[in-house]
Structure 1
């Protein structure tokens, strides 16, 4: 009996050893299979080519940024983290079915935070000696939000690359003769955006490529849980526009007492017909100082008792004065001429819209009255010339919005505008978005200007732009100019 028990115990030990061996072998096989799966994913061209983009373009860009130093060091770290986060996101996306919107927003949060950090860093360092460098990156970096663009993400990247070139040209102009490292820095950044465009056109032609027949849920975990210090707010780019300000309508009955008096006067004059000027004499060419510069040089003793210049007699026939017809009205126009949208002589129109735009387009608005114009998309610049009571709403501008010889104007920025120029304009009220708080205003010979800034509760607060200034001499050589307190600022 004892021998039988011993044999049974020995057999049990052998079976247990075999079971342990089989279990260990199974675990190793599973681990090996997982490793093989990961390896297979990384060897797919869609992942391998993005890895090449990082190694060939982004890494050299980061190295050169660190070499130049200054603010470019911190900025390049954000850029590298962003591209790495996007590569991990694509790796997971091609193995998963497309998630719902909330899951997608959570998944792209690491990328969103880095994009916002880059934009915020550039805005907070406007006085940096490398501000044009920072703007070159911040204007181009929204290209990486292509993962949210359908059905054609490629043109979105191209538009952002074009926007970056506005500031990169400034870098080239400043450093082309001084430091070739900065020229190479620009080339590397533009190259990175171009290669991203090529990559997306090849693998994500109609949008981010998800696994078409996968039953696997998207399980990407957003590891970063804290917002970078330079970021400006949560959520994926682009941020939603703020609530619109009060409608940009114009009451033609308000403050028109002066205009009414003027109109009555002109009506009275017109009622007289040509008789009112029949007693006036035409000025011959010999008395016109702009045609006879020597008349302006005559001393007082060569003038008549009435103070008029003495004109020497000239032989020959006197020609009648020519008249110039300066038309104030013309046929209404809203057309695209090359890369310029022309909006001319529009009156009483509240439905003017320009929607087919791109980064190379400029908008020129000429002699329009009592109208509202909406410009959608991102354009290069907008100019309003000799307009009255025109409301302008635009999405985003690369360079500037300018008002020249205008009256009673209103404009609203939905997203971004770097510069607003106001010249010889009476009455100009600008509504900014939260993304445009770094806008600069350049004004001359203008009055009744104000900027409306959104507050925390999305209410707009109006701030007047100074019209009067006080200039003093400092240290005997330096002029110091400040707004005059009597101007109400």
Structure 2
């Protein structure tokens, strides 16, 4: 684990070095940095994937909270100050560190030192950020482009042994030749012999007056320099589609809050968790919750009865689950699909475009829907041997009367 932690911090250091040499990229800075986060992301992913003995569970969670602070390079106002973000991560890490201190106080000073060093690293990072990067990652206004700085940084890391061999220098001219004297140059050439004994100057073509372009005697022979070719018009490249900013993919259970966390997952990252790309959650306690954030193109399967489901800022995400005790909530989402195999009493849909839920026969009479600022919502349910789909109304007719406002669903839905 120590090597992985070192790799994660070194990945962040390389980005800071890049910023010190490059000017801030145009557009979204966070998106421009995504290709250079690979080393940090892989290290953090490997740490989250470690399967240690349960005695080290709190240590692993403390390290996980500490590594979350490495995302500070992506933060800037008005989103959040980097130092404030790291302070929040420090509070979360201290939650687990204090438990470790309680368990090992007076028993193992090595574990206490682990907690102290964890805190020291994070407080040191806060001091560094507040001194050099308080409003966000500092760039070099006189620097080169980010891409060029990355190439140069890679070249510097190449071992010297891999550098091309130095070409031998040509023999130095002597005497007048070295001083630029033309006569001395000819004499020097005369002393140099070819393999057949002829002078190195043999065969040189004499330039006559009619071949010198600046003289009036010039005849315009074929020896004149050719005019430069017209520059080729390079078609303008089509700008690449911007990749949305995503943090480090997370798929884990947190004891604090009894919550399953699924964040920043995509179809590609989900395949690293499961061969079929389906993220499977096994519920062991009805108090547990499932929380999805900033995911795209994934499918989640939840087995067991659990408390609640929250889907926040997700796109093209599908969730299949059994029974919910409380509610399923969607906010700031696009194209969400749910399938209920058990019972879900309440659905809350807010600022969502594109929602489809398949209800089970037993959930139909008990399910209710609360919507706001949402559109393209549909409910599918069994109707005898067929499956029926109906829209959730988006248009209403409001009337004022007797000192109150009454609302009815538009005739479009009748």
Q: Write 1 or 2 for the structure with the bigger share of helix.
A: 1
Same fold at TM > 0.5: no
TM bracket (short chain): 0.3 to 0.5
